[in-house]
Structure 1
Amino acid sequence: MSERVGVLLLAYGTPASPHEIPAYYTHIRRGRPPTPELLAELTERYEAIGGASPLLGIARTLAERLELELGERLPGEDFQVVLGMKHATPFIEDGAAVLAAAEVERTVAIVLAPHYSRLSVEEYMERVHAAEASAELGELAFVREWHLEPGYLAMLARRVQLELEHLHSLGAGAVRVLFTAHSLPSWIVEQGDPYPEQLQETATAIAQLAGVDDWAVAWQSAGRTADPWIGPDVCEVIRDLGAGADHDAVLVCPAGFVSDHLEILYDLDIQAREVAAQAGLRFARTALPNADPEFVSVLADIVQAQLAAVAG
């Protein structure tokens, strides 16, 4: 008899339409409504990328494809892959309830972000464990980090090489590759959080696989708080790069992100691209994994390994 196995895919979340932006922003701010000025700024950013982020649709497609992939790999198991968002519907608790209703016997939870921080992945873990109080998830295993997953590194290395070839075909000479992730408050560094070190490890591994020597780590999408955030900011790095005469182009590989959303489509494709143009540099970025079959295979590898580790 097949075992019912649940996979809980965890993502940050996004408003599905413009009218959901106020509630979404309020949830991010832990129940404190944003000022009219902050709300207007965020709304304008969504308008600049077409009104809404594609993240929800991409994540749903990813869940569907991962369920099929796992079913093909392990036909003796009955998989159900569901989505749980941190700040928007379907919430993490909604996803847990779906798995509980399906009476899963085992659950693997994985955040769609490769690097661990107690301000990111740890908060997802806490929400999942809290949901267990009312949703029986069977034997629960949590993927804490996967920033050195071989398939993920190889996939991004190939995408770096592809974009470098394209830039060189356009006449660019020296190109600096910037590996980015979402910035977090810098006090986490003082507390020994592994997040910055893990991004450095990911960047080093991808650069080696891609044969890239001219690269650096940068940070993006810092929040608006009184606390300083981890830097250097990607736009500042691009400005400084343009101030010199050694580079013709910049290539951004957002290695801390797996899906197109506001931080990619606005912060990089609009904002960072504009800064590069002002600095006299060509700009390119690697394509995000999204629901690409290759990324589906990477996630299936991770889930399969987690199940094997627990069984062992």
Structure 2
Amino acid sequence: MAESGMSGTTARRALLVLSFGGPEKEEDVVPFLENVTRGRGIPRERLAEVGEHYYRFGGKSPINDQNLEIIDHLRTEIAARGLDLPVYFGNRNWEPYIEDTTRRMVADGVTEVIVFATSAWGGYSGDIQYREDIERALQSCRDAGVTPPTMTKIRPFHDHPLFLSAFARLVDEARDSLPADQRADARLLFTAHSVPVSADEASSADTTHRYSGQVLTAAREIRALSSFATDGDDGTDVELVWQSRSGPPHIPWLEPDICDHLEATVTGQDGTDGDHRPIVLVPVGFISDHMEVMWDLDNEAADTAAGLGVPMVRAATPGPTPEFTDMVLDLVEQTVAHTSRV
């Protein structure tokens, strides 16, 4: 693991990249999942079964290295701009934990922290839970008799023009990777992580402001910015599915599930003649290739499409792109300007 901060800095302000976390090796998998499911009373034997996807990758989640890549890009661009803004890394569920990183920042003399959480979305999982992480880190400082820094979380960025334009460019690159004779007929399919319907509804009385509404709006914007916008319609109708649901089957989650949707639409179970067009799959709900992307999409969804005889390519995620780096620093500037006025 690369170091999570820059030691010896004299800067008073820093940027913290805050993420979910993931195991680094097989021995980490069950303890990591215990952190994720804390308070739910799930037996270790069941967690070992849930961790099978991680074991297939040697117990190592891709998320930490991908976050470190994002951080490296940020540090490079910060240096190119001549800014004095050290970048630190903290997680909710695995090392480096946000509590440890926060105390390290204090030891380095940092008194003001701008927090970039690696989720574009509002709602509990995408926004509020990260705010709870921040408060827990501040309390850990107080409990240790340490004066905590001020910590301000950057707003959800699902509507940021650079986020949307980066995804649109990646959509076009994925479409261009299809054989030339398949591109014109390609079908655009957006996917994001499902959540319980009750959680989605509780996030806002206004459907457009719910997590599901934010995802739908972003998908429409991305489509309108991509080459698919010239396909003979107004560019607002999108095909949106969900993935990676968990929990008891009797609890409703956002649907349709991506694999179920592929089966229904390709075979005609949805009441149509069946849609056998090539698919450009867009993981709009993710900023980088997390386990949910690599397993649920690149394995399960890809296998489903192959079994149905439908070509499918996946758009890359925007985290490693120059647009994403510029977006984060733009959001830092916005956040600093806002906090200065308050």
Q: TM-score, normalised by structure 2?
A: 0.83
Structure 2 residue corresponding to 1:267, chosen from 288, 291, 296: 296
Query: Are positions 1:243 and 2:267 aligned together?
Result: yes
Counterpart residue number, 1:95? 101
Partner of 2:26: 18
For structure 1, the residue ranges without an aligned partner over 5 or more in a row are none
SS in 1 for 2:255: coil
Q: CA deviation at 1:170?
A: 5.9
Match of 2:13 among 5, 21, 25: 5
Aligned to 1:220: 243
Looking at structure 1, the residues matched to 323 and 203 of structure 2 have their Cα atoms a distance apart, in angstroms, of 33
Alignment equivalent of 2:192, drawn from 181, 184, 187: 181
What does residue 155 of structure 1 align with?
166
Tell whether 2:118 aligns with 1:112: yes
Partner of 2:89: 83
Which residue of 2 is the match for residue 145 of structure 1? 156
Cα–Cα, structure 1 residues 290 and 17, in superposed 2: closer, same or farther, change >3 Å? farther
1:231 matched to which residue of 2? 255
State whether residues 98 and 134 of structure 2, in contact with CA within 8 Å, keep that contact through their aligned partners in structure 1.
yes
The change in CA–CA distance for 1:305 and 1:70 in structure 2 (over 3 A counts) is farther
Aligned to 2:312: 283
Which 10-residue stretch deviates more, 193-202 or 2-11?
2-11
What is the aligned partner in structure 2 of residue 69 from structure 1? 77
What is the alpha-carbon distance in structure 2 between the residues aligned to residue 51 and residue 280 of structure 1?
32
Q: Is the 8 A contact 1:11 1:111 kept in 2?
A: yes
Aligned with residue 209 of structure 1, among 195, 214, 225: 225
* Shift in Å, 1:173: 5.1
- Aligned residue identity for 1:202: A
Instruction: Give the paired residue count.
Output: 309
SS class of match (2:103): helix
Change (3 A) 1:308 1:45: same
Q: 1:56-112 deviations in whole A, cap 9, x for unaligned?
A: 12212322331332343353xx31211111111111212212222222132111211
Alignment of 1:27-42 (within 5 A): 27-31=35-39, 34-35=42-43, 38-42=46-50
Alpha-carbon separation, structure 1, partners of 2:197 and 2:119: 19
Determine the C-alpha separation between the residues in 2 that align with 1:74 and 1:122.
33
Provide the rounded CA distance (Å) in 2 between the counterparts of 1:221 and 1:300: 30
Q: Distance in 2 between matches of 1:137 and 1:170?
A: 59
- CA distance in structure 2 between the partners assigned to 1:104 and 1:191 by the alignment: 36
Cα distance between partner residues in 1 of 2:216 and 2:31: 35
Who is 1:303 aligned against?
Answer: 332
Q: How many Å separate the matches in 2 of 1:61 and 1:236?
A: 34
Kept after mapping to 2: 8 A contact 1:26/1:33: no
CA displacement at 1:261 relative to structure 2: 2.1
SS of 1:167's equivalent?
Answer: coil
Between structure 1 and structure 2, the one with the greater Rg is: 2
Which of the numbers 230, 235, 252 marks the counterpart of 2:281?
252
More deviation, 44-53/97-106? 44-53
Q: What whole-Å deviation, never above 9, does each CA across 1:169-226 have from its counterpart, x for those lacking one?
A: 2635532212222111110233244211110111011011014247311111111234
Distance 1:47 1:280, change over 3 A: same
Residues 190 and 291 from structure 1, CA distance in 2 versus in 1: closer, same or farther, beyond 3 angstroms? closer
**How far apart, CA to CA, are the structure 2 residues paired with 1:29 and 1:283?**
33
Tell me, in whole angstroms, the C-alpha distance in 1 between the residues paired with 2:198 and 2:15: 33
The alignment-based identity, stated in percent, is 29
Distance 1:114 1:120, change over 3 A: closer
User: CA RMSD for the aligned pairs?
Assistant: 2.2
Letter in 2 for 1:195: Y
TM-score by length of 1: 0.90
> Which protein is richer in strand relative to its size?
1
